[in-house]
Amino acid sequence: MKIIGYQTYIVPPRWGFLKIVTDEGIVGWGEPCLEGRTHTVHACIDELMEYLLGKDPRDIEDHWNVLYRSSFYRGGPIMMSALAGIDQALWDIKGKDLGVPVYQLLGGKCRDRVRMYSWIGGDRPDDVARMAKERRDAGFTAIKMNGTEELHFIDDYSKVDAVLERVQAIRDAVGKDFGIGIDFHGRVHKAMAKILLKELAVFNPMFVEEPVLAEHFEVIHEIARYGAIPIATGERMFSRWEFKHLLQRGGIDILQPDVSHCGGISELRKIATMAEAYDVAIAPHCPLGPIALSASLQIDSVCLNAVIQEQSIGIHYNQDNDVLDYMTNKEVFEFKEGYCELLKGDGLGINIDESFMQEQNSKDVRWRNPIWRNKDGSFAEW
């Protein structure tokens, strides 16, 4: 079997896709994207695919090492997101060729279903109690929300009070055993993170995510002392070598690598295994499309330390199209009692609606991060 071609797509709301074609008619799908920089990622895809054309797609480990290690400059969000999409597509091809789900090629399942959570709120969260109750009534047992609006290095306590009021409202609406993930989104600096963790502990959150930006991970151990809350991070880290240093420093309870940014299924599997050796859980980051979600679920299926999976159906970013719009077998993502059954189909287990993909690819999609500023006019982290 040889790779004979490929095609990339950039589609609403903010996703990028890749189709790799073989001479035996088997195609594999990946999701190489980087929110706000997907055009750049696809330029990298073109460079990497120069090597892969004519190669056997089944030699995944060798291809990963060549594409990563043959460049003098390695890693980073652009390179690893491009490599991630290629890696996903190669696993999809191999599973289809052998007639099994990808998780069977990774050692076989260690569970029957995966717990899921749903997003509520928005960038500046509002009416979260009502939305949390709606998700509970729909069968979910956990939600995640952005915790706060923009925060300066030292900011008003009224903003802290607003966070506490929102979380209290959710806890009152859904009860004490419902999971509440609170995403600081890297908007919070160290001093304010200490205050928030201390004040939020009374609500027993499921976790606090990205209490500070990834470039400040050396202070996470310090911040963790201020509240008995599991700390999660990792969506802006891109290789096992970055995660190695994070795990060695301690203070982290849940890693959140993104299968479309961290080098794909191959790399996420290795990160998860390394985390298990440190008694750390994983909860893969995935506010993306159907291929990233299915790839994440393949990892969740085989990793004992996978505790919950993010998914973006109905998230506030999906204004034009949603996850299921790009699939023909939408039923595989019908969650029951807050869980997703393992994907039984060959490869990644989803069928892409190619005609819809082509139609949406004709649109000019240029999603960009919002630009926020503090009251004094200085830049604020989004």
Catalytic residues: 185, 285
**Beta bridge pairs of residue 5:** 21
Query: 207 with 167: CB under 8 angstroms?
Result: no
Give me the helix-helix angle, 77-98 and 265-277, nearest 10°: 100
Q: How many CB atoms lie within 10 A of CB 107?
A: 11
Rounded to whole angstroms, the Cα distance separating 71 from 79 reads 10
Would you give the end-to-end CA distance of the chain in angstroms? 45
**Cis before 370? omega within 30:** no
**Beta bridge pairs of residue 336:** 339
CA 45 vs CA 39, 67, 321, 350: distances in Å:
10, 11, 24, 22
Helix (H, G, I), strand (E, B) or coil at 338: coil
H-only helix segments in the chain:
38-52, 60-69, 77-98, 102-105, 128-137, 157-174, 190-200, 220-224, 240-249, 265-277, 290-302, 354-361
